[in-house]
């Protein structure tokens, strides 16, 4: 194993060397970094050309300059890592490492949403192969597959931001629209849950009626301008989360897990007011982190109290429920921040922004208002990125799940009398996740450098923007800096994917042969 990793790392270095050499020379040929200055007739043009030429060593031929660049990179072994300077004499490393958090923020939310939603829907469609739900989701995922992201972005900006903001000025929903929304949601939920005809229509009517009643209530309570869950709504949502997690992880009939999970919800309700009091204190990130540790500790305590033997699954269920409950509490706090945020001068009643990372006009010391600001700026790019990538996850997880369900070990599991939940979650789902994991790892690496278009459409300045500027202004060192980071990440991710595969699936041996 060790020898295999070392050998792969060696090849990886050779590949990086080869492609960076090629890229450096190609990029050096692609344009003149001082071409703009040469054409200008400013008085100090000559001096500036000379200065740039000196600092970027433009007097040397590209292959020689490559080795100067490479020496900076190899400096990492002697503790002097250097990526060179940009055209504007800023260290490349600084520019790149400034851009990484932005890109991560943009990409992580979208990737997590896409992965969770995509795998969930993919697996449900596999379980309901050839149902109406399967067909409509197949069509839907192909449709998303076929959309250019900048086209989606323009539509999102128009309908989710501009028109939604207009609508928020005076939120009313006409009855026909309400009924349509109810009917559509009913169809989707009924198709996803399935069952015989009677159950289908029952689910359909309950969902549709429930949606319409909820919408009426939301309008009556002015929920769109003053949203909140309140202690009761929060508790109901938390109990729902507890039931769902217990059902998925061990099944509702497993009493210790159910008790531990419900205990976490009750703890959440009890601590609702104290925690909200804490939320108004200074130094919020530390408070949230402390609360997270407290949640995990109490979840472990609860499971030790409720389960005498076989505590592993109980701890898992309780911790997950606790974390979800905590997220619900944060969501509730953010919802109650909505009204003050909405009424700040910088926002002025138009809360969904179309471009930018944060609202620079927003002057607020309140942690929650700035957090909500960041979240609102993430809404549109996240929807766009999610829509594009989750179609792939749906297709892939559906295909893998169908393949796994055809295996002999699934038949064995059923034959020995395991219930359907155990067969699906323990035997099928885990095996489906093996190839999924490798795909996720590789995707995540490529997505880091690949959000060029999204960043441009939504006016973010991350890695994609750096790459784009570098190409357009022939900024060689900047380009190589971005390339070096994304390429090595992609290669390492490939290696990690191979290793993960062999860890998760003992049938695969790495290093054998190749």
Residues at the site binding another protein, with contacts judged by CB under 8 A: 11, 14-16, 18-19, 22-23, 26-27, 29-31, 124, 127, 130, 138-139, 142-143, 145-151, 154, 158, 162, 192-196, 403, 406, 419-421, 424, 452-453, 456, 467-468, 471, 479, 483, 487, 490-491, 494, 513-514
CB distance 114 to 393 below 8 Å: yes
CB distance 379 to 350 below 8 Å: no
Burial code of 58-94, b = ≥16 C-beta within 10 A, e = fewer? Answer: beeebeebbeebeebbeeeeeeeebbbbbbeeeebbe
C-beta closer to another protein: residue 29 or 169:
29
C-beta closer to another protein: residue 23 or 236:
23
- Residue 255 burial by CB count (10 A; 0-12/13-18/19+): exposed, middle or buried? exposed
C-beta closer to another protein: residue 31 or 231:
31
What is the smallest separation between the CB atom of 361 and another protein, expressed in angstroms? 23
Return the residue matching tokens 């109810």.
182
Give me the sign of the Cα torsion angle 166, 168, 174, 179.
Answer: positive
CB distance 326 to 345 below 8 Å: no
C-beta closer to another protein: residue 92 or 479:
479
d(Cα 82, Cα 69) in Å, to the nearest integer? 8
d(Cα 318, Cα 298) in Å, to the nearest integer? 9
List the one residue out of 413, 441, 454 whose CA is nearest residue 504.
Answer: 441
- Residue 148 burial by CB count (10 A; 0-12/13-18/19+): exposed, middle or buried? exposed
What is the smallest separation between the CB atom of 491 and another protein, expressed in angstroms? 7
d(Cα 372, Cα 363) in Å, to the nearest integer? 13
Q: H helices of 128-229, where?
A: 132-145, 149-156, 163-169, 175-193, 197-220
C-beta closer to another protein: residue 131 or 364:
131
Which two structure tokens, joined as six digits, stand for 350? 């138009």
C-beta closer to another protein: residue 468 or 502:
468
d(Cα 62, Cα 425) in Å, to the nearest integer? 56
What is the smallest separation between the CB atom of 145 and another protein, expressed in angstroms? 6
Return the residue matching tokens 């709504």.
233
What is the smallest separation between the CB atom of 219 and another protein, expressed in angstroms? 28
d(Cα 353, Cα 424) in Å, to the nearest integer? 42
C-beta closer to another protein: residue 375 or 442:
442
What is the smallest separation between the CB atom of 218 and another protein, expressed in angstroms? 26
C-beta closer to another protein: residue 135 or 305:
135
CB distance 489 to 107 below 8 Å: no
What is the smallest separation between the CB atom of 12 and another protein, expressed in angstroms? 8
What is the smallest separation between the CB atom of 127 and another protein, expressed in angstroms? 7
Backbone angles phi, psi at 85, to 5 degrees: -120, 155
Which two structure tokens, joined as six digits, stand for 42? 């400013």
CB distance 401 to 433 below 8 Å: no
What is the smallest separation between the CB atom of 510 and another protein, expressed in angstroms? 14
Instruction: Answer left, alpha or beta for residue 296, where phi above 0 means left and psi between -120 and 50 means alpha.
Output: alpha
C-beta closer to another protein: residue 63 or 195:
195
What is the smallest separation between the CB atom of 449 and another protein, expressed in angstroms? 8
C-beta closer to another protein: residue 111 or 476:
476
What is the smallest separation between the CB atom of 195 and another protein, expressed in angstroms? 6
C-beta closer to another protein: residue 422 or 437:
422
What is the smallest separation between the CB atom of 275 and another protein, expressed in angstroms? 32
């Amino acid at each position: 194993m060790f020898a295999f990793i070392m050998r792969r790392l060696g090849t990886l270095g050779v590949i990086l060397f080869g492609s960076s050499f090629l890229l450096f020379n190609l990029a050096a040929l692609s344009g003149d970094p001082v071409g703009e200055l040469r054409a200008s007739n400013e008085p100090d043009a000559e001096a500036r050309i000379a200065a740039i030429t000196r600092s970027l060593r433009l007097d040397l031929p590209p292959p020689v300059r490559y080795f100067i660049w490479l020496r900076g990179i190899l400096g990492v072994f002697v503790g002097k890592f250097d990526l060179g300077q940009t055209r504007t004499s800023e260290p490349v490393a600084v520019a790149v490492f400034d851009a990484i958090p932005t890109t991560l923020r943009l990409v992580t939310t979208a990737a997590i949403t896409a992965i969770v939603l995509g795998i969930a829907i993919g697996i449900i469609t596999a379980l309901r192969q050839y149902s109406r739900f399967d067909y409509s989701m197949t069509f839907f995922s192909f449709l998303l597959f076929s959309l250019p992201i900048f086209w989606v972005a323009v539509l999102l900006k128009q309908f989710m931001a501009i028109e939604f903001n207009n609508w928020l000025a005076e939120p009313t929903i006409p009855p026909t629209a309400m009924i349509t929304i109810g009917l559509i949601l009913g169809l989707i939920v009924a198709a996803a849950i399935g069952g015989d005809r009677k159950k289908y229509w029952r689910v359909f009517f309950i969902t549709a009626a429930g949606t319409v009643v909820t919408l009426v209530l939301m309008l009556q309570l002015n929920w769109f301008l003053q949203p909140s869950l309140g202690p009761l709504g929060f508790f109901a949502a938390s109990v729902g989360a507890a039931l769902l997690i217990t059902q998925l992880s061990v099944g509702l009939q497993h009493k210790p897990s159910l008790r531990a999970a419900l205990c976490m919800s009750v703890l959440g309700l009890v601590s609702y007011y104290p925690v909200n009091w804490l939320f108004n204190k200074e130094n919020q990130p530390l408070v949230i982190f402390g609360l997270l540790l407290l949640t995990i500790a109490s979840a472990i305590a609860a499971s030790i109290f409720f389960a005498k033997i076989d505590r592993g699954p109980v701890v898992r269920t309780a911790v997950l429920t606790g974390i979800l409950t905590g997220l619900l509490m944060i969501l509730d706090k953010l919802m109650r921040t909505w009204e003050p945020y909405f009424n700040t001068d910088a926002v002025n009643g138009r809360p969904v922004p179309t471009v930018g990372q944060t609202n620079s006009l927003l002057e607020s010391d309140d942690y929650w208002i700035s957090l909500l600001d960041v979240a609102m700026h993430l809404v549109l790019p996240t929807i766009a990125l999610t829509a594009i990538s989750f179609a792939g996850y749906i297709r892939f997880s559906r295909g893998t799940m169908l393949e796994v369900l055809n295996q002999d070990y699934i038949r064995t599991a059923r034959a020995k009398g395991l219930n359907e939940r155990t067969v699906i979650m323990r035997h099928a789902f885990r095996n489906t996740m093996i190839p999924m994991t490798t795909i996720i790892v590789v995707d995540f690496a490529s997505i880091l450098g690949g959000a060029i278009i999204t960043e441009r459409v939504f006016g973010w300045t991350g890695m994609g923007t750096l790459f784009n500027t570098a190409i357009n202004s022939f900024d060689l060192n900047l380009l190589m800096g971005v390339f070096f980071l994304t390429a090595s990440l992609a290669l390492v991710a490939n290696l990690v994917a191979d290793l993960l595969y062999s860890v998760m699936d003992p049938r695969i041996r790495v290093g054998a042969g190749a």
